[in-house]
Amino acid sequence: MGFITGLAELDKSLAESNDFPDRQKTVWVKLADGESVKVTPLQEFDTGSPNYSEKNGLAVTNLEHANPDHFQYHASCTADEGSCYGCEQGWWQKRVLYINVLVEKAGEEPYVAVLSRGFSTKGSIANDLRAIAADEDFDYSITDKTFKLTRTGSDKKTSYSIQQLPKAKKVNVEEYDLWDLEQAPFKVEPEKQERYYTTGNLKSDGDTPKQESAKEPVTAEKVDVDW
């Protein structure tokens, strides 16, 4: 139940609480299987967009690694800091989109959340949004459009789709306070990355690690990312 008893256990817990840097409590776009919401991007991909807002800034793309055997353990690549466990293992660098969107869900007040999805050679909603932002026929803009975002499936069989809504109400994107995207991606200090990527849900049993079913992994956010 999460109880801590005894001074020794308390001291151990306090010491472990600083394993990873403090992060803002970001609100993420999360959908259940079969659920749909309306989302209006509040940031463009490029300053050259006619609807670019200097106040809101741009969407960002972050380079990340995941343990190939346990993709839920993912974090920012830190190669630019001189050391990165994922790079040292030869793991693929995933490009992940982070963008503030206005979410409209039936029965709730509209709210700002961060949409995080990976770019993929097989296609993804990150690819779709990027393509629209670069298309003259769409006026090189996504903030003047509202989309229907739908989730289908669960776990590794999860997929997302977006569809532009033709009769959406115009949104003034500068009316909203946005989440700081520089703090949104999960980052682990280089000296702690091996432990993060190789433990979490894993328990060492002699020389053979095995997965525990009860623990929740320590990850950037509890959202699906296309790995």
User: Buried (b) or exposed (e) across 164-175, using 16+ Cβ within 10 A?
Assistant: eeeeeeebebee
Residue 193 is assigned to a structural domain of this protein? no
Residue 18 is assigned to a structural domain of this protein? no
Residue 145 is assigned to a structural domain of this protein? yes
Residue 145 belongs to domain with CATH number: 2.40.50
d(CA 112, CA 200): 30
State the residue range of the domain holding 142: 25-179
Q: Say what the alpha-carbon torsion angle 142, 143, 146, 150 is, to the nearest 10 degrees.
A: 60
Residue 89 is assigned to a structural domain of this protein? yes
Cα dist from 91 to 66, 134, 205, 212, 222, whole Å: 7, 29, 25, 23, 22
Residue 204 is assigned to a structural domain of this protein? no
Residue 112 is assigned to a structural domain of this protein? yes
Global pTM value: 0.80
| Two tokens, residue 34 | 């079969």
Residue 194 is assigned to a structural domain of this protein? no
Please write the tens of the pLDDT for every residue from 151-200.
998 877 888 999 999 988 889 999 999 999 999 999 999 989 999 998 85
Residue 213 is assigned to a structural domain of this protein? no
Please write the tens of the pLDDT for every residue from 40-95.
999 999 999 999 999 999 999 999 999 998 888 999 999 999 999 999 999 999 99
Q: How many domains does the chain have?
A: 1
Which of the residue ranges 70-74, 152-156, 210-214, 216-220 would you say has the lowest mean pLDDT? Answer: 210-214
